[in-house]
Amino acid sequence: MANTRVAHFKPTASHVAIIMDGNGRWAVRRGMPRLAGHAKGVERVRDVIKACPDLNVSHLTLYAFSTENWKRSEDEVAGLMRLFRRYIKKESAKLVEAGVNLRFIGNRMRLDRDLQEMMAWVEELTSDNDKLYLTVALDYGGRDEIIRATRRVAAKVAAGELTESQIDEATLSAHMDTGGLPDPDLVLRTSGEVRVSNFLLWQAAYAEYNFLDICWPDFTAEVFADCIRNYNTRERRFGAAVG
């Protein structure tokens, strides 16, 4: 029987997704090149990953590069790709040690072949870990992901493996890049912008949002802990009546 009281639970944010925005502005305000802001942002990624276990965050999803970010200058795109390569090379051993299970979501076919290979390598290397499920969105766009998932489902229907009437929310979810992952509970965005910029459009349908006025390079473990505390004061109703 449906019990509305059950719907008003106050859960912990076990899956947090972050739109890490504001690196460029952080750097420019200090008279530094935009890439210096991105490099600083990588340090914050390290801190946030480290803070997850104490905050009971079991799943962390980070927006690193969108399908729209290809519009940036060649220099900035190349610099970001260098940072991704360096991150995988430098952090892989630490990720294993910390029990982090890393996977990427996005349309990786447009990335350089060597980077694609590094991504597959580190995914395989960390695939048995279960302390923290870290998902990095790279060349990721929510609409692009929905299109690719729809194509996968359509191919199965054409092959007779699935009927049209079997397609439901669970089917679509399973065919997303995030298949098997829980939906995010909390989506954070730094930089002061109040928009989702094509991030997890399907998965975050009922997430709680928190838009922060600071830039990503200023996002410390303390700020992260505050965000989790703030989430814990919220009441999630999922459409049920108040009371």
- Catalytic residue IDs: 21, 69
How is residue 131 annotated by DSSP? Answer: S
Stretch that binds ligand IPE, among 156-164, 177-185, 193-201, 217-225 (CB under 6 A): 193-201
Among 19, 21, 42, 136, binds Mg ion (CB under 5 A): 21
Nearer to Mg ion, 129 or 211 (CB): 211
- Establish if 184 lies at the interface with ligand IPE (CB under 6 A): no
Numbers of helices and strands, H then E, in the chain: 8, 6
Provide the token pair at 98.
Answer: 């910390």
**Helix 34-51 vs helix 221-232: crossing angle, to nearest 10:** 60
Nearest to 227 by CA among 200, 183, 189: 189
Q: DSSP alpha helices (H): ranges in the chain? A: 4-7, 23-29, 34-51, 74-97, 113-125, 142-158, 169-175, 221-232
Stretch that binds ligand IPE, among 1-9, 18-26, 44-52, 205-213 (CB under 6 A): 18-26
Beta-carbon contacts of 104 under 8 Å, excluding residues fewer than 6 positions away, are 119, 123, 135, 136, 137, 138
- Establish if 193 lies at the interface with ligand IPE (CB under 6 A): yes
Stretch that binds ligand IPE, among 43-51, 53-61, 94-102, 191-199 (CB under 6 A): 191-199
Q: Residue 20: which of Mg ion, ligand IPE, none does it interact with, CB under 5 to 8 A by kind?
A: ligand IPE
Nearer to Mg ion, 37 or 57 (CB): 37
- Establish if 69 lies at the interface with ligand IPE (CB under 6 A): yes
Q: How far is CA 94 from the centre of its chain?
A: 20
- Establish if 185 lies at the interface with Mg ion (CB under 5 A): no
Among 64, 102, 134, 187, binds ligand IPE (CB under 6 A): 64
Nearer to Mg ion, 153 or 215 (CB): 215
At residue 161, φ and ψ (nearest 5 deg) are: -85, -15
Write out the residues near ligand IPE by the rule CB under 6 A: 19-25, 63-66, 68-69, 80, 191, 193, 195, 197
Write out the residues near Mg ion by the rule CB under 5 A: 21
